[in-house]
Structure 1
Amino acid sequence: MTTTPATTGVGHRVLVGLRACWDWLGPRLRRALTFWRRSIQARVVASTVVLSAVVVSGVGWILLQQTRDGLLRHRAEVVLGEVDAEVADAQDRLEAASGREVNANQQQRDLVDPIIERGDSRGYAVVLAGPEEEGGKLRAGGGEYTSGLDLVSVPAPLEEHFDGPQRPTAWTYTEIVRSRGTGSQARTTREPGIVVGSQVQLPSDGRTYTLYFLFPLSEEEETLALVTRALLTAAGLLLALVAGLTWLVTRQVVTPIRMARQVAERLAAGRLQERLQVSGEDDIARLAYSFNQMATSLQRQIRQLEELSWVQRRFVSDVSHELRTPLTTVRMASDVLHDAREGFDPATARSAELMQAELDRFENLLVDLLEISRFDAGAAVLTTENVNLADLVRRVVDAARPLADQRGIRVRVVEPPHPVRAEVDVRRIERILRNLVTNAIDHALADDPSEAVIVRLASDDEAAAITVRDHGVGLAPGEASMVFNRFWRSDPARTRTSGGTGLGLAIAQEDAHLHGGWLQAWGRTGQGAQFRLTVPRHAGGTLRHSPLPLVPDDDAPSAAAATAPLTAPLTGQGVVPDEERG
């Protein structure tokens, strides 16, 4: 089938129209869904109104059914009484005229005509059927039924009921069909009604005829419609009242909760002096009082911790600075002794070498403490430049190559074919990578040469990532969130080849946070560990994901179990962000 340009144009216009409708409707629908999810007051009001509507509908339907049944029952009683009176009156008239010489046709007209006239004046119709000895069927023509009435108004079951003489009076519901007007003005009307059948016997021929009385139910229908309108109006007003009352009641409960949420958010933002207003003595007031007590206690403890932290930072900073002067003097003396160690006896020469090595470690510790002090004081700043991270990785790996060769560890770099560029502080990123690579070499096992330390790089439009994977002792459950703590070691008794102060990973994570990035850890006992550094490609950018997985591919079947202990908040140490949890 060939698609014509006109058909294609119409389809395109339809798609454009649908897209425009969705562009207009989509944001509003999303805002409505967001409001529905966030507003407990809206959900409570809507649920109450829906349940109330169901209850009101059920009660209203029952009332309507009872009203309808009552109206019809009362109408049927009235109709049966009126029919009995009409039949008795007709029978009396027939008996009174039985002494005169009249034929059967004349008696039929004397019987039906007065009833039809009264029916026209009172609003009901009359049909004469019979005689029963000849089948009792309805016949059209003459004056045997009300003019304009359609004989289909008499139901066939009722007609079959009177298939013989001496049948009792019976009634049923029906639809009264009338023809009004003539020619082009003719029209047919239909209305519900009650049809009552009763038999009479003509004295002239002794035959039995059936009279059908058709009473309309228009008044009852109007009454039922009036009751229905009244119930609908009352139901609408009741639902509006219920909605208003529910809104007021829920507002009394939700408003203090919203105030508590706002105060809690301000407390979380650091405004520790915020408190809830307490009024009354009910449960809400007691909750506000307890909340204020909790906030006061937290404020006191936080201030104590802040003071302690300030004292600690000041102590570390002061000690670090004060130790640099005597360290310089000791370093000068140590250098003299170390240079002259060849003239000492072996024990003294070894002591000079040990002094030199420990002074190096002590000097590194002071440098790290001073760096930590700058982070704690908020004095650390970035000097960013757009660089290829692969160059930094290769430079760090080349610098760590002697240590790796000494341990018998292979270090392998896996990088993409394109440059991994990002705006970073080169000195700080190199320090992070140096810590990660040397730690990986220090913790790796040299028993299996195939299990090398692997450094991977990747990037996308928003972020760049570097992972360092070793196959060494690994991390026990829960330790991945502790490796970035200051002075923490997984095994304090284990000898360290590369030395270290216990502050390297803490400083590395501070450097990552200063870039607005993540430094995270994964590990399993006996299967090694992997550290991942993720930074935004552009300075000041926000991270939402990482181009590399935290759990290595060789442990993918155990990814869920591996990330189980890494569920602390992002402000913790070495954790998995919410968007990357499995």
Structure 2
Amino acid sequence: MAAYQRSQWKGKPWLHIGMPVAYAGDRELKNANQLSGLVVYAALPLEDDRRDLAGLAKIARIAAIPPLALALVPALLAARSVLRPVRKLRNAAERFASGDLGFRVQPKGYDEIADLTRSFNAMATKLQEDDTQRRRMEAGAKRFAADVAHELRTPLAAMAPVTDLLAQDAAAHELPPDTAEAIQLVAERTRALVSMIEDLMEMSRFDARAAPLRAERLDLRALVTKSLKLRGWESSGQVRAEMPFSIMITADSRRIDAILANLVGNALRHGSPPVIVSAHTTSDHVLITVRDHGPGIPEEAFPHVFERFYRASTTHTTSAGSGIGLALAQENALLHGGTLTAANAHGGGAVFTLALPLAVSEGDSN
């Protein structure tokens, strides 16, 4: 069996062949076809072959350029004709995702891309119709709530003083026990209904972009203290303010008071005392936090905390509150150019953080 090996000698390629020599000829010889022990070597230069192959490769490359160029032009034209409608569909999808539901792509031809374009336009039309219907229903629901609140406001305004007067008589033991208990319940529910109607009216103003912002320079610590004292929370020992120094802010005192009342009232209803109200400043924000020591907010409730009429527990449907207090608090925060976020504190309890930007609020310590 022959052996082959390639090598380089003086920069040129060579092929070396080695082959053993065997006996051959007369069959009577006992050693016929047996190896003789001799090995024949041959060295063949490959330089000419290499030059020939290089020349053939060069010729092949040169010969391939014209047909490749000729094939490239129609290939580019074909690719462009295919990619152009795909690019239009991509741009349409981007505009559609940005909210331009009325944008459509004009289909051309009857190929697969044209069929895809028609399907896209049909989907866009259906989604636009659904979105229009949803917006119409939302507007109708908001208008209905505003109309109901407006119609109920006048009779409730007349009922509230009467029920309060009867409740005072009941508290003074001037009525039979059963009657007094019923009157107290009616007065409590009337006050809750009045509060809910006021919240609905306020929400309708936010929906109509008619909520005014009357900003003024005020002391946040004094505002928090006044808000807690007004509702009797500070004297009850269930709520305390941890604000060692004054922080001057520019904001609407009535709306900041409404945010605090909603957050603290929500903490007392759904959490556990003590409820702590604190505030501090950062480089670009004033942060007001309200924390309770209750069980905290369930994980599944976080995406819905600030939704209108959402209740994390369906077992407390008769609990106090209109169900839109946190939604109103968030709207008031947004009206100031700030944010309102909810989280669970380390060690238990929920914590709500109101952040007012320094462009609106400016904190300063004494």
- Whether these two folds match at TM > 0.5 is yes
Distance in structure 2 (CA, Å) of the matches to 1:457 and 1:250: 62
Tell me which residue corresponds to 1:97.
none
Distance in structure 1 (CA, Å) of the matches to 2:106 and 2:268: 58
Tell me which residue corresponds to 2:356.
535
Distance in structure 2 (CA, Å) of the matches to 1:300 and 1:391: 52
Are 1:482 and 2:299 counterparts?
A: no
Are 1:379 and 2:200 counterparts?
A: no
The alpha-carbon deviation at position 385 of structure 1 amounts to 3.9
Are 1:349 and 2:170 counterparts?
A: no
Tell me which residue corresponds to 2:24.
none
Q: Do the aligned partners of residues 260 and 389 (structure 1) sit closer, same or farther apart at CA in structure 2, a change above 3 Å counting? A: farther
Tell me which residue corresponds to 2:279.
457
- Name the amino acid aligned to 2:144: F
Distance in structure 1 (CA, Å) of the matches to 2:215 and 2:59: 76
Larger radius of gyration: 1
Distance in structure 1 (CA, Å) of the matches to 2:250 and 2:69: 61
Distance in structure 2 (CA, Å) of the matches to 1:494 and 1:245: 72
Q: Give the match's secondary structure for 2:103.
A: coil
Are 1:316 and 2:145 counterparts?
A: yes
**Contact map agreement 2:205 2:211 (CA 8 A) in 1:** yes
Are 1:428 and 2:255 counterparts?
A: yes
Tell me which residue corresponds to 2:326.
505
Q: How does 1:22-101 map to 2 (within 5 A)?
A: none
Q: Do the aligned partners of residues 375 and 330 (structure 1) sit closer, same or farther apart at CA in structure 2, a change above 3 Å counting? A: same
Q: Do the aligned partners of residues 528 and 283 (structure 1) sit closer, same or farther apart at CA in structure 2, a change above 3 Å counting? A: farther
**Contact map agreement 1:473 1:526 (CA 8 A) in 2:** no
Tell me which residue corresponds to 2:194.
363
Q: How many residues in Structure 1 have an aligned counterpart in Structure 2? A: 319
The alpha-carbon deviation at position 514 of structure 1 amounts to 2.7
Please say which of residues 364-373 and 224-233 is displaced more in the overlay: 224-233
The alpha-carbon deviation at position 170 of structure 1 amounts to 8.7
Distance in structure 2 (CA, Å) of the matches to 1:234 and 1:535: 70
Tell me which residue corresponds to 2:85.
256
Distance in structure 2 (CA, Å) of the matches to 1:532 and 1:326: 37
Q: Give the match's secondary structure for 1:478.
A: helix
**Contact map agreement 2:342 2:353 (CA 8 A) in 1:** yes
Q: Do the aligned partners of residues 521 and 263 (structure 1) sit closer, same or farther apart at CA in structure 2, a change above 3 Å counting? A: same
The alpha-carbon deviation at position 171 of structure 1 amounts to 8.5
The alpha-carbon deviation at position 350 of structure 1 amounts to 3.2
Question: What is the RMSD of the two structures over their aligned residues, measured on CA atoms?
Answer: 4.1
**Contact map agreement 1:404 1:441 (CA 8 A) in 2:** no
Q: Give the match's secondary structure for 2:321.
A: coil
Distance in structure 2 (CA, Å) of the matches to 1:260 and 1:325: 55
Q: Do the aligned partners of residues 283 and 524 (structure 1) sit closer, same or farther apart at CA in structure 2, a change above 3 Å counting? A: farther
Are 1:470 and 2:292 counterparts?
A: yes
- Name the amino acid aligned to 1:500: G
For 1:59-110, what per-residue CA distance to the aligned partner results, in whole angstroms no more than 9, with x for missing partners?
xxxxxxxxxxxxx99xxxxxxxxxxxxxxxxxxxxxxxxxxxxxxxxxxxxx
The alpha-carbon deviation at position 535 of structure 1 amounts to 3.0
**Contact map agreement 2:345 2:351 (CA 8 A) in 1:** no
Tell me which residue corresponds to 1:283.
112
Tell me which residue corresponds to 2:233.
403
Q: Give the match's secondary structure for 2:299.
A: coil
Distance in structure 2 (CA, Å) of the matches to 1:465 and 1:239: 67
Distance in structure 1 (CA, Å) of the matches to 2:84 and 2:183: 74
Question: Which protein has the bigger helix share?
Answer: 1
- Name the amino acid aligned to 2:261: R
Q: Do the aligned partners of residues 324 and 232 (structure 1) sit closer, same or farther apart at CA in structure 2, a change above 3 Å counting? A: same
The alpha-carbon deviation at position 490 of structure 1 amounts to 1.9
Distance in structure 2 (CA, Å) of the matches to 1:295 and 1:431: 42
- Name the amino acid aligned to 1:375: F
Distance in structure 1 (CA, Å) of the matches to 2:83 and 2:289: 48
The alpha-carbon deviation at position 455 of structure 1 amounts to 3.4
Question: Runs of 5+ in structure 1 lacking a partner?
Answer: 1-71, 74-168, 174-192, 195-219, 447-451, 541-582
Question: Runs of 5+ in structure 2 lacking a partner?
Answer: 1-12, 15-41, 362-366
Q: Give the match's secondary structure for 2:201.
A: helix
Q: Do the aligned partners of residues 495 and 297 (structure 1) sit closer, same or farther apart at CA in structure 2, a change above 3 Å counting? A: closer
Identical counterparts, % of pairs:
36
Q: Give the match's secondary structure for 2:350.
A: strand
Distance in structure 2 (CA, Å) of the matches to 1:508 and 1:479: 17
The alpha-carbon deviation at position 364 of structure 1 amounts to 0.6
- Name the amino acid aligned to 1:283: E
Q: 2:269 aligns with which of 427, 434, 442?
A: 442
Distance in structure 1 (CA, Å) of the matches to 2:94 and 2:211: 28
Q: Do the aligned partners of residues 526 and 495 (structure 1) sit closer, same or farther apart at CA in structure 2, a change above 3 Å counting? A: farther
**Contact map agreement 1:468 1:532 (CA 8 A) in 2:** yes
Q: Do the aligned partners of residues 170 and 259 (structure 1) sit closer, same or farther apart at CA in structure 2, a change above 3 Å counting? A: closer
The alpha-carbon deviation at position 403 of structure 1 amounts to 3.2
Distance in structure 1 (CA, Å) of the matches to 2:346 and 2:280: 27
Q: Do the aligned partners of residues 171 and 523 (structure 1) sit closer, same or farther apart at CA in structure 2, a change above 3 Å counting? A: closer
Distance in structure 2 (CA, Å) of the matches to 1:477 and 1:372: 27
**Contact map agreement 1:515 1:539 (CA 8 A) in 2:** yes
- Name the amino acid aligned to 2:306: F
**Contact map agreement 1:444 1:470 (CA 8 A) in 2:** yes
TM-score, normalising length: structure 1: 0.46
For 1:531-553, what per-residue CA distance to the aligned partner results, in whole angstroms no more than 9, with x for missing partners?
2222322149xxxxxxxxxxxxx
The alpha-carbon deviation at position 255 of structure 1 amounts to 3.3
**Contact map agreement 2:101 2:128 (CA 8 A) in 1:** yes
Q: 1:303 aligns with which of 116, 132, 136?
A: 132
The alpha-carbon deviation at position 495 of structure 1 amounts to 8.9
Distance in structure 2 (CA, Å) of the matches to 1:539 and 1:233: 74
**Contact map agreement 2:291 2:349 (CA 8 A) in 1:** yes
Tell me which residue corresponds to 1:333.
162
- Name the amino acid aligned to 2:302: A
